[in-house]
Amino acid sequence: MTTPQSTERRELVVQAGETSLPGNLCLPSGATGIVVFAHGSGSSRFSTRNRFVADLFNEAGLATLLFDLLTADEHEIDQRTRELRFDIPMLGRRLTQTVDWIGAQPEMKHLRIGLFGASTGAAAALIAAAERPDAVAAVVSRGGRPDLAGPFLARVLAPTLLIVGGEDGPVIGMNRDAGSKLRCEHRIEIVPGATHLFEEPGKLEDVARLAREWLLKYL
């Protein structure tokens, strides 16, 4: 694998409809695809797990965009009530609007788009893929709740990889149930010995490797 010669890294503001959301863009020279991260319950663009995975994607020449799905005020409310992290229609709408925004940016509009969702962010990713079938080229879920995408699952056309920890019993069932409703190319990967957050030694690396192979194939 060849490391890109140069990489642009900068903070930016994603315009999701009328909502402004802070983000971090990493754009390796020669990139042909961009992976948009949809974080999960109570997380943010500063998620150490997602940033670790993003770095490995960048090394493979993929651009990445990590951004907050909630505004600062909404995040503060969510920390108290835990309501907004499960507002799947809103999260899906914002991610869909972000896909549209990327398509309007001169430095990104030529890039094929992949979505990487964790926890409830996986449902948002699948909704965005269903809503923008011509724009989203691939989806990866890490320990996700794809079942929360409900009726959108049957409309997803983008090849979808569902990664679940082998010790994450209930979520394995949820992913298998969601997989049975997908009509697109898809695969479920069970990482042996991993719990929900893939905190065990080497398990997050396994997630990154599986996701990277899938995204490089389609982006």
Partners of 142 in beta bridges: 118, 163
Please check whether residue 91 lies inside any domain of the structure.
Answer: yes
Query: Is residue 42 predicted with pLDDT exceeding 80?
Result: no
State which residues form the domain around 36.
Answer: 7-218
Going by C-beta distance under 8 Å and a sequence separation of 6 or more, which residues neighbour residue 199?
Answer: none
- Interior angle at CA 61, CA 200 and CA 66, nearest 5: 60
Query: What CA–CA distance (Å, rounded) separates 197 from 16?
Result: 28
Please check whether residue 102 lies inside any domain of the structure.
Answer: yes
- Can you tell me the mean pLDDT for 174-193? 98
Instruction: Note the pLDDT of residue 2.
Output: 47
Nearest C-alpha neighbor of 122 from the set 163, 157, 154? 163
- Can you tell me the mean pLDDT for 129-137? 98
Partners of 37 in beta bridges: 66, 116
**The total number of structural domains that make up the chain:** 1
Residue with tokens 């691939």: 138
Please check whether residue 1 lies inside any domain of the structure.
Answer: no
- Interior angle at CA 50, CA 45 and CA 52, nearest 5: 120
User: Edge to edge, what strands does the sheet with 160-165 contain?
Assistant: 7-16, 19-28, 63-67, 33-38, 112-118, 136-142, 160-165, 186-191
CA distances from 139 to 10, 12, 93, 112 (A): 24, 23, 16, 12
Q: Give the global pTM.
A: 0.94
**Which of 76-85, 86-95, 153-162: highest mean pLDDT?**
153-162
> Is 117:123 a contact under the CB 8 Å cutoff?
yes
- The CATH number of whichever domain residue 211 belongs to comes to 3.40.50.1820
Please check whether residue 78 lies inside any domain of the structure.
Answer: yes
Please check whether residue 72 lies inside any domain of the structure.
Answer: yes
Please check whether residue 51 lies inside any domain of the structure.
Answer: yes
Query: What CA–CA distance (Å, rounded) separates 89 from 126?
Result: 11
Instruction: Note the pLDDT of residue 4.
Output: 47
- Can you tell me the mean pLDDT for 100-121? 96
Q: Which residue has the higher pLDDT, 142 or 49?
A: 142
Query: Is residue 103 predicted with pLDDT exceeding 50?
Result: yes
Query: Is residue 44 predicted with pLDDT exceeding 80?
Result: no
Query: Is residue 52 predicted with pLDDT exceeding 90?
Result: yes
Instruction: Note the pLDDT of residue 3.
Output: 47
DSSP secondary structure letters along 157-185: -S-EEEEEETT-HHHHHHHHHHHHH--SS
DSSP H or E segment with residue 2:
none
Going by C-beta distance under 8 Å and a sequence separation of 6 or more, which residues neighbour residue 84?
Answer: 70, 74, 77, 78, 90
DSSP H or E segment with residue 156:
none
Please check whether residue 203 lies inside any domain of the structure.
Answer: yes
Query: Is residue 82 predicted with pLDDT exceeding 60?
Result: yes
Instruction: Note the pLDDT of residue 43.
Output: 67
Query: Is residue 179 predicted with pLDDT exceeding 90?
Result: yes
